[in-house]
Amino acid sequence: MAYLNIKGIKENTFDVIVVGSGIAGGWAAKEFTEKGLRTLVLERGRDVKHIRDYPTTNMYPYEFEHRGEPALSIRRENPIVSRCYAFREDAMHFFVKDGEHPYVQVKPFDWIRGYQVGGKSLLWARQTQRWSDFDFDGPVRDGFAIDWPIRYKDIAPWYSYVERFAGISGNRDGLAELPDGEFLPAYPLNAVEDHFKKSLLGKYGNRHVISARGAHISKAGKVHYDQGRAQCQNRRLCQRGCPFGGYFSSNASTLPWAERTGKLTLRPFSVVESVIYDDKLNKATGVRVVDTNTKTVTEYFARVVFVNAAAINTNLILLNSVSSRFPNGLGNDSGLLGKYVAFHNYSARISAEFDGLKQFTTDGRNPVGGGYIPRFRNLHKQETNFLRGYAAGFSAYRSSETDTSGIGEALKSALVTRRLGPWKVGSHMMGETIPKESNFVALDREKKDQWGMPLLKISVDYDDNDVKMKRDYIEQLSEMFVTAGFKNIHVNAASQSPGLDIHEMGGVRMGNDPKTSLLNKWNQLHHCRNVFVTDGACMTSTSTQNPSLTYMALTARAADYAVEAMRSGNI
């Protein structure tokens, strides 16, 4: 791959380079530009402008060729990404197709990606929960992974900071295991979800069903109007891109905010090949970029680099950033880069029916999905034969039934005359997996992609702890369903591969000791202190909570630290 620096160094020099424009990258762009720093954001995919580039956002079901279902030929060509629930006609243009960026599955792994400006912030499920000290001190209490270099008190103000700007709906539930935040009004539980909540409190006392917390503007305030966003319309068409900006995405929120400062340069179609390290200066000086269309290679320079390409691609970039000082990847003196990758275990679901409360039905749509059951296992003491625990989603809706027994005119009449059926209820688990060295990503030195980058080898799998946790979830939720009077309980112990949770984390983990971690408490590489990682790659453990809110808070916190360090001359 020939190097061609087609622009002068001065023209290609910025204060900060941010790699990736998803949730973490968008926040980094906002923070740096807001503080007056000239910031270059590099995105490997195409540009997607808010509203303009949401082609399906207002389409009716009948306007799709297959009523929303991808054609069989598309499914056959994309066996991996088509397993994702949101890969449908209305949103599949926001997903990376299987053949577009291949990788090597040492063990089965469904790598779900969104290569465009905004990344997967256009596609995420928008569930947002804070971590607690049960999560941050979990490794040191339970003896897995390594100790986090921060605790809840370190990140709590930053949770508040990002929540107020992003717009998070929820209740103040007063649970130590799930700290309260700066909330907009919550979406209420429906009658059966509330019934389940009361039945659990009556029997267990310490098992809670709360209104799920989500990045939806349930009641817009000035900060949201200032962003050009409006109240969520509860359409539940979020994966198409929201023209109202009703849910948080980089496209609707942080990137336009950064653009208004006049300090943002956004460059799509830019695959970051590596971070450039200067052995004489003992620091990174910029990044090397391959244009996705022309394959031209260009270098960009900055005092600080934030690598937020999404967890697995961040690992790929750093592993490929080799120099005489770092022959095994940037900052990789410990040899741990790419190791201790973890994820969330979503491999079990339970459904049932409820014959009670038939005086009620569901009305409208809940964009956050209903209820959420915070982790209740192994909180205050080790009480099971597995480490850590799981959270769970829970939702209920009133079903409808149609009589299809007739023919001709009788059938036509019956099809438009639906009657209410029983309540349907469902739950899915979100289990914490234990980071371990045998779960890793690495470069394939023989195979390369179309941009000249080594293909990534992914070797990530479940273990015995996951099996035991999954069994406990099935046993406990089944018992809880019986307690609530639910009938026809059906267990789906899915055999889905890791990755389909789309919560991959680790590989560039934070820690106190450079011998056992890559990043310090400020998300800086221990051995290259002007490079920061604040996306999922930085996570030391996974907890049971959805991780995106934590990425936002870590990014805002690290950016604030980086600016002060630049001003004081420490970077």
Q: What is the DSSP string of 151-196?
A: -HHHHHHHHHHHHHHH-EE-----BTTB---SEEPPPPP-HHHHHH
CA distances from 104 to 107, 339, 442 (A): 9, 16, 10
Are 245 and 261 in contact by the 8 Å Cβ rule? The answer is: no
Please calculate the CA angle 339-162-342 and round it to the nearest 5 degrees. Answer: 15
> Among all chains, which residue has been given the structure tokens 């590596």?
274
Strand partners, 16: 39, 304
pLDDT beneath 50: ranges in the chain: 1-3
Tokens of 425: 């209820």
Tokens of 281: 């200066």
pLDDT at 1: 45
If one counts every other C-beta atom within 10 angstroms of the C-beta of residue 79, the result is 10
Q: Which of 371, 465, 64, 90 is nearest to 240 (CA)?
A: 90
Strand partners, 490: 351
pLDDT at 437: 97
Buried residues in 381-418 as b, exposed as e (16+ CB within 10 A): eeeeebbbbbbbbbbbbbeeeeeeeeeeeeeeeeeeee
Strand partners, 353: 424, 487
At 309 the three-state DSSP class reads coil
- Gap between the Cα atoms of 215 and 470, Å rounded: 28
Strand partners, 425: 352, 396
Tokens of 459: 């070797």
Strand partners, 278: 283
- Which residue type, as a one-letter code, is found at position 492? N
Q: Which of 395, 376, 121 is nearest to 238 (CA)?
A: 121
Q: Which of 446, 438, 453, 426 is nearest to 506 (CA)?
A: 438
- Gap between the Cα atoms of 244 and 123, Å rounded: 15
If one counts every other C-beta atom within 10 angstroms of the C-beta of residue 58, the result is 11
- Torsion 157-536-99-330 (CA) sign: positive
pLDDT at 5: 55
Are 224 and 167 in contact by the 8 Å Cβ rule? The answer is: yes
At 415 the three-state DSSP class reads helix
Tokens of 375: 């982790």
In the chain, where the domains are located: 1-51+118-170+214-335+504-571, 173-211+344-432+462-497
- Please report how many Cα atoms fall inside a 13 Å half-sphere around the Cα of residue 56, on the Cβ side: 20
- Please report how many Cα atoms fall inside a 13 Å half-sphere around the Cα of residue 375, on the Cβ side: 29
Are 231 and 244 in contact by the 8 Å Cβ rule? The answer is: yes
Per residue in 43-77, pLDDT (tens digit) is 999 999 999 999 999 999 999 999 999 999 999 99
Q: Which CATH number fits domain 1-51+118-170+214-335+504-571: 3.40.50.1470, 3.50.50.60, 3.30.110.40, 3.30.70.3000?
A: 3.50.50.60
- Gap between the Cα atoms of 212 and 216, Å rounded: 11
pLDDT at 147: 97
Q: Which of 535, 56, 54, 111 is nearest to 251 (CA)?
A: 54
Q: How far is CA 556 from the centre of its chain?
A: 16
51, 54, 58, 60: CA torsion to nearest 10: 180
Q: Which of 547, 561, 557, 543 is nearest to 133 (CA)?
A: 543
